[in-house]
Structure 1
Amino acid sequence: MSATIRTTDPVTGQPLAEYEAWDTGRVEAAVERAPAAARAWARVPVNERATRVGHLATILREHKETLTHLAVSEMGKPIGEAEGEVGKSALTAEYYAEHGPGILADERVDIDGAEAWVAHEPVGLVLAVMPWNFPVWQVMRFAIPTLVAGNGVLLKHASNVTGSALALQDLFVEAGLPEHLVTALVIADSDVPDVTARLIEDDRVAAVTLTGSNRAGAAVGSAAGRAAKKSVLELGGSDAFMVLDDADVEVAAAAAVKARFTNSGQSCVCAKRFIVAAPVADAFTAAFVAAVEALRIGDPRARGTRIGPLARDDLRAAIQRQVEESVAAGARLLTGGKPLPGDGYFYQPTVLGDTGPGLPAFDEETFGPLAAIAVARDDEDAVRLANATPYGLGLSIWTADPSRGVALARRVTSGAAFVNAIVASDPRLPFGGTKRSGYGRELAASGIREFTNTRTYWVTA
């Protein structure tokens, strides 16, 4: 268990940096230090914990340039979106600094002859297995509420954003949190399954959360189940974007481009299947394709770039397979459909028409700049198509009648439903999925309480 981790610039395909992967002894030393830091942190009053985490907002903003550079360099995120990640993380720190103590406050229960209340107490050390596609936000979305709740964090970030992981670890200390309370584990990809399984079994680890693939989620969820430990899984997504026959087509098409191609299409919670009512299908498709073809592809460091490279070449190959197999099965290629020549891992923004159940672009999670359009005969058919997926993360419905949109949303299984808006995460609202998109919630009150012991107190004189 010893190797070198190499990060790569997806713009050029050239190496960025090398990191020595930790061996068993170094992992053990880190895990040995973490529980004491977590126990000491749990004894800090919640108001003080919240204040210190709130200071993280200032630190994040001070280091915005460094964190942005790392995200752009390590995974190719367009610079404006990388800056947005840092800003959103800072706002989340401020949200929990203000509201965390109130959410975690004891809840009194009226019982004759007794004083009773419900407390939300820290569970201890939480293992977090995080993905590369939002290298700052994914970590902060979990870590900020978890730390305010009084827990410690073992962070296993994706290897291709190792620089981001180590930078974030340092920022927590700079913000005034104790050393070893948040520890970034530097683990070679080949060692991750064994190390993760061993840590979940370790009595010093209280719980685990993962954002990633269904395969990784199944492994982590199974290991947590065997160890009888709490787990939260945020897995894949294939969100439906439904355009009803009364929708403003131009508005919906503009929103659809933003919803699909944010982060160059590399997001679990972004629109992927565009289910359009037959009467407006031609108009929507024309507007959507025209807007997709106008997207600027190129260096993510340039301010006008909307589509950067995919983070890895294997991801580009996966998109190419999905396009080719879908077209062979009857889909129509409306634009794009090929890797861009030259250095780096660029892929043309692609739209497929005439899709539906049975085609890879519709059935599978597509993690890149690929959109699938399916035409619905009526509302009933739109609901059928939206539900024709093993995933259930987000849903977006566009209509002139919001009450109609809400009524249809209630018939589609998802963790979130947005009417006349793009699906997004917000610290004020819980975030998570259903079906194969996982379980548990992050953000809002639900997220800060996920890794607490909801404890009953009953006291009689």
Structure 2
Amino acid sequence: MSNSIETINPFTEKTLKRYTLMTHQEAEVCVEKANECFEEWKLVSVAQRVKLANALAKVIEENQDELVQLMVDEMGKVQSQAKQEVALCAEICKYTASTAEQALANEPRDYNQGRAIITYQPIGVILGIQPWNFPLYQVIRYSITNLIAGNTTVMKHASNVFGMAQKIHSLYEQAGFPKYAYQSLLVDGETASKLISHDGIKGVTFTGSDNVGKMVAEEAAKRSKKTVLELGSNDAYLVLDDADIALAIETCVKARIINNGETCVSAKRFIVTEKNYDEFKLGFKQAMMQIKMGDPRAEDTHLGPMARKDLREKLHDQVKKSIAAGATIVCGCEMPDGKGFFYPPSILENVSPNMPAYDDELFGPVAALIKAKDDNDAMRIANDSRYGLGGGIFSKNEEYAIELAVKHFNTGMVNINGYGLAQPNLPFGGVKNSGYGREHGGFGLKEFVNIKSVMIAEIK
């Protein structure tokens, strides 16, 4: 196995940089350094950790241009969306900092022999294994939360965004965090998997595919180590009988192509009732075909290239298998010629169970269009999935939509008459094969802490 790896610009297909991978022994030394740092970091006041988190927010904002350039160059993110990601990460730092002292404060309680204190104590080094599609956000959302809680972190980033991995490491140092509080490890997947068993690792947070996530959880569970998993999804967006069709079309196009269609919580299955199916299909097709695909640096580009050649090939294979099983093409679905790992905005219809477009996650700008008999049938189809990360409902009856979202839609997040990515003040995560645990919104502060009861008996 090669001990080096190169990053490739998905727009130009040219090599950006070659990196030398750490050996397993070198990675273990980093874990040991993180453990040594933890023994001091856990004693630092939450108030001081909060100051450093706010300093990190400022450093992120000051480094916007370089961070945006890395996203555009390493994974083809459209420049305007890269700027939004930078801003989101700064806000996550600020919001988490604003809630941490209250969230982690000791809680006094009485018990039958006297008084008690509930305290939230950090547990040690948290291993993060993160993907490439939101190369700054995925890392910041878990790492800053754990650092404020008093843990230290080591992180394995996706190999095609190693430049971002190194940059994040430097951001933490610029903000004034202790040298080994946060570390980006340039390691391969095999080395990261081996680190799970290291005695110094106390918990693991993973974002990626459900198959790999289950293996990570299994390795951690063998050693009684907690995990937080944010896995894939094939989010359903329901266009109900009373939906505003123009709004649904505009929103669904945005929700499918955002981040070049490579978003775990983007819209993927579009479930439309018979009443609105033809009107929605016509408008959806027209809008998708007007999407401008091209240079991610250009201001008027809506859709950049996919992040890697193999990812585009996998997506096209899923499309072909779905067509072979009976799905039909509404638009797109052809591999374009020319330079860059582009895939056109595409729609498949007549999508049904036992097709990749129905059962699996299409991680690219391909929409699965599904006709439902009525609202109840649409809800049934939406829940007919092994996933449960996000979803959406379009209905003019807001109270009805809220009831469906709360009581019937089996996902971790639901959008009503709109689409939004992660919000700093809201939890993010899913159910079923989309994983468990929640990050940011304040909830991540307590994912990897020891909730300790201290009981003080009254002396009589």
| TM-score range relative to shorter protein | over 0.9
In the alignment, which residue of structure 2 is the partner of 1:241?
A: 237
In the alignment, which residue of structure 2 is the partner of 1:82?
A: 82
In the alignment, which residue of structure 2 is the partner of 1:403?
A: 399
Structure 1 CA distance for aligned equivalents of residues 333 and 409 of structure 2: 30
In the alignment, which residue of structure 2 is the partner of 1:302?
A: 298
- 2:49 and 2:147 in contact (8 A); partners too: yes
In the alignment, which residue of structure 2 is the partner of 1:434?
A: 431
Structure 2 CA distance for aligned equivalents of residues 219 and 330 of structure 1: 33
What's the secondary structure of 2:278's corresponding residue?
Answer: helix
Equivalent residue in structure 2 for 1:290, among 275, 286, 290? 286
In the alignment, which residue of structure 1 is the partner of 2:193?
A: 197
- 1:396 and 1:423 in contact (8 A); partners too: no
Structure 1 CA distance for aligned equivalents of residues 442 and 316 of structure 2: 40
Structure 1 CA distance for aligned equivalents of residues 296 and 33 of structure 2: 39
Q: 1:273-328, CA deviations, whole angstroms, 9 ceiling, x for partnerless residues?
A: 00011111111111111111111100101111111100011111111112222222
- 1:54 and 1:96 in contact (8 A); partners too: no
Structure 1 CA distance for aligned equivalents of residues 193 and 342 of structure 2: 35
Amino acid at match of 1:133: N
Give the alignment's Cα RMSD to 1 decimal: 1.2
In the alignment, which residue of structure 2 is the partner of 1:95?
A: 95
- 2:41 and 2:151 in contact (8 A); partners too: yes
| Stretches of structure 1 lacking an aligned partner (at least 5 in a row) | none
Structure 2 CA distance for aligned equivalents of residues 343 and 197 of structure 1: 35
* Structure 1 residue 113, shift from structure 2 partner: 4.2
What's the secondary structure of 1:126's corresponding residue?
Answer: strand
- 1:395 and 1:423 in contact (8 A); partners too: no
| 1:385 and 2:381 aligned | yes
- Counterparts of 1:123-142 in structure 2, within 5 Å, are 123-142=123-142
In the alignment, which residue of structure 1 is the partner of 2:67?
A: 67
Percentage of identical aligned residues: 40
For these two proteins, the number of residue pairs brought into alignment is 457
- Counterparts of 1:34-433 in structure 2, within 5 Å, are 34-188=34-188, 192-193=189-190, 195-409=191-405, 410-433=407-430
- 1:118 and 1:455 in contact (8 A); partners too: yes
Structure 2 CA distance for aligned equivalents of residues 448 and 279 of structure 1: 45
Structure 1 CA distance for aligned equivalents of residues 221 and 113 of structure 2: 39
| Stretches of structure 2 lacking an aligned partner (at least 5 in a row) | none
* Structure 1 residue 2, shift from structure 2 partner: 5.6
Amino acid at match of 1:120: Y
Amino acid at match of 1:252: A
- TM-score of the aligned structures, taking structure 2 as reference length: 0.97
* Structure 1 residue 112, shift from structure 2 partner: 4.6
- 2:130 and 2:206 in contact (8 A); partners too: yes
Structure 1 CA distance for aligned equivalents of residues 345 and 331 of structure 2: 7
Structure 2 CA distance for aligned equivalents of residues 219 and 382 of structure 1: 33
Q: Which stretch shows the higher mean deviation, 196-205 or 36-45?
A: 196-205
What's the secondary structure of 1:201's corresponding residue?
Answer: coil
* Structure 1 residue 167, shift from structure 2 partner: 0.3
Amino acid at match of 2:79: I
- 1:209 and 1:232 in contact (8 A); partners too: yes
What's the secondary structure of 1:10's corresponding residue?
Answer: coil
What's the secondary structure of 2:69's corresponding residue?
Answer: helix
Q: 1:354-412, CA deviations, whole angstroms, 9 ceiling, x for partnerless residues?
A: 21222221111000010011011012211111011110000110100011112222212
Deviation beyond 6 Å, 4+ runs, structure 1 = none
- 1:248 and 1:399 in contact (8 A); partners too: yes
- 2:96 and 2:442 in contact (8 A); partners too: no
What's the secondary structure of 2:299's corresponding residue?
Answer: coil
* Structure 1 residue 199, shift from structure 2 partner: 1.5
Amino acid at match of 2:269: R
Q: 1:79-138, CA deviations, whole angstroms, 9 ceiling, x for partnerless residues?
A: 011111110000111101111111111122233541212111111100000000000000
CA change 1:197–1:319 in 2 (3 A) is closer
- 1:355 and 1:361 in contact (8 A); partners too: yes
Q: Which stretch shows the higher mean deviation, 67-76 or 398-407?
A: 398-407
